[in-house]
Amino acid sequence: MKQIAATCLLLCSTLLSAQGIHIEPPNWWTDMPGHSVELLIHGQHDIASVTVQGQGVKVMTDSPANNPHYRYVTLSISPEAEPQDLILAIDYAGRHRSKKVNYELKARDPLIHANMGLSARDQLYLVTPDRFVNGDTQNDVVRGMKERAVNRQDDYSRHGGDLSGLASQLDYIQSLGTTAVWPMPILENNMHGQSYHGYAITDHYAVDPRFGGLESYQLLADQLHQRGMKLVMDMVLNHTGSMHHLFQDPPDSNWFNAWPLSSNKGDEQTLSLRSSHKYQGIYDPYASKDDVRRFTDGWFVPSMTDLNGRDAHCAQWLIQNSLWWIETVGVDAFRVDTYFYPDQAFMRQWTAAIHAVYPEFFVFSESWTHDAHSQAYFLNSQPALDAGADFLIYHALKSVMEEPASWTTGPTKLYAALAADYLYPEQAKDMVIFLDNHDEGRFMGKIDGNMKMYKVGLGLLYALRGMPCLYYGTEIGYDAVNDHGAMRQDMLGGFPGDQGSAFRGEGLTETQQEALAYVRQLGALRHQETLIGTGKLMQWAPDGGAYALAWYDDKEVLIVIINVDETDRQWDMSRFSELGIDQGQSARSLLDEKVMTIESSQHLPAQSIRWLKITKD
């Protein structure tokens, strides 16, 4: 049914374009909370007025934009209104003939929201769609797109991966323990170069045709939901690509911050202000107003135009676009890119608006901070924000894996990072935790291919509070660390001519096979051990490179102990006595499936991890 709807939407959009009319959002629903929608209507000529014909629908406001080719039209939709095709009469100024166009009001589909939201029990899988699987070579090159070729030899060109390819490997993805798939942005990026990554959106209501279009996205959502899995949509509210139609012909220059000194036809614009990327000014009591402006209003890069959420019409456009994607596709969560760059009052407005319509929906932020108080500020100043990508834990895990133990580094840094959860106790359990991602170097590369430390790092990640997020390829030990294009490497077996396949387990080195088997084991254990994320959590101060935490309730205890030193250590097991752990008790070692007896001390080999499960008497 949703595929039929996608086809109808494409047909309606094509017909409107043929008449020189563009309307956003392209459709709405009869029974949405608020019972109104603001249409952004663009015509070939100056628009004088807009009227509507329909049952239970009327025009509340009909306002001109600064650009006379645009009109802001707010429709009031009665709670009793039925699904229908409205008729919008668009009257042009001067001698131009008026146009009449259909605008569809749909009935909502409650079934697509049955699986909505994320929780501490979920496991995420982050994918760069262009680099995962090429499921349809026919959409590699699409007429009308500015980047007209695929070139797998160039790390920054498109390689041809798409959404049908992603959907074709859901068996593999699910075998890793994944419950939620997070593709990097899939909306149209019609830029001249580097359009593969998705963060320079040029049409907020279109899935990039090189990914397969809206129908492929809806099929992916349907197939995930049939498996009881979830879909995370990567949202970009801070900026658009410079080729976006709203930047090329804006309703008002106020839609964009720091309007360029001059525009050109290329991707990169001549800027009047580029972001300082120094977020501290937002909460700094001594901050210069100019510094704050440079951060929030400056452009991220010259090819990404900075949206102004302080403009009421721009804000409403972004809010409605987000609601449209939830309602159209049934996405279950948003990851919000560059969350602290836009105006923070707008971000509060946006997040509250999402939850007003979808209380169970989950929103987590990319707030790339480097310390506990900054992370706490951006979580606590956004009361409707569910959680964030946990960069504090990420930096702590980096230290555990890459730096020698000291008073401030190694396991002590993780110990301190978890202790800081008191600053955001409501969000802590649902934070998204990770060892690498699409912006940071691959974990295996940062530990120089050390399989022992690979197992310690991932074993610790899957034992921590929060939702573990695996970046595709980490499960087979991808190791690029210095270059974004290289870090977003093609998935082995996803492209014609590949010598081997991670999906089929063919052509893998012994190290890759070992890594993949270990990730699958951890994913299964995280599902099996329901204490993780639901029980109580306790941690113990590190002893050199040794560190322990435990999940527990009245009946069971799951102890996780690591030693990252290059020499063996002993752990005093009496430190667990307050949990009712005594010498002589039996414990199951979950990672090697052995049974052991608790003694006065636990021998910890160099660079090792133990998961010990104990059932209380």
Residues marked active site are found at: 337, 366
Q: Residue 565 is encoded by which pair of tokens? A: 């030193």
- AA letter at 363: V
Give residue for tokens 């359009």.
195
Neighbours of 43 (CB within 10 A): 23
Helix runs in 298-336, H state only: 312-329
The residues, any chain, with a CB within 8 Å of residue 573's CB and separated by 6 or more, are 581, 583, 598, 599, 600, 601, 602
Contact 38, 73 (CB under 8 A): yes
For the chain, state the CA radius of gyration.
Answer: 26
- Beta bridge partner(s), residue 548: 540, 561
Give residue for tokens 């492209």.
495
Strands 180-183 and 230-236: parallel
Q: How far apart are CA 324 and CA 330, in angstroms?
A: 9
Contact 313, 40 (CB under 8 A): yes
Neighbours of 78 (CB within 10 A): 13
Q: How far apart are CA 413 and CA 469, in angstroms?
A: 20
**Which run of H or E residues covers position 263?**
none
With b for 16 or more beta-carbon neighbours within 10 A and e for fewer, the 273-306 pattern comes to bebbeebbbbeeeeeeeebbebbbbbbbeebbbb
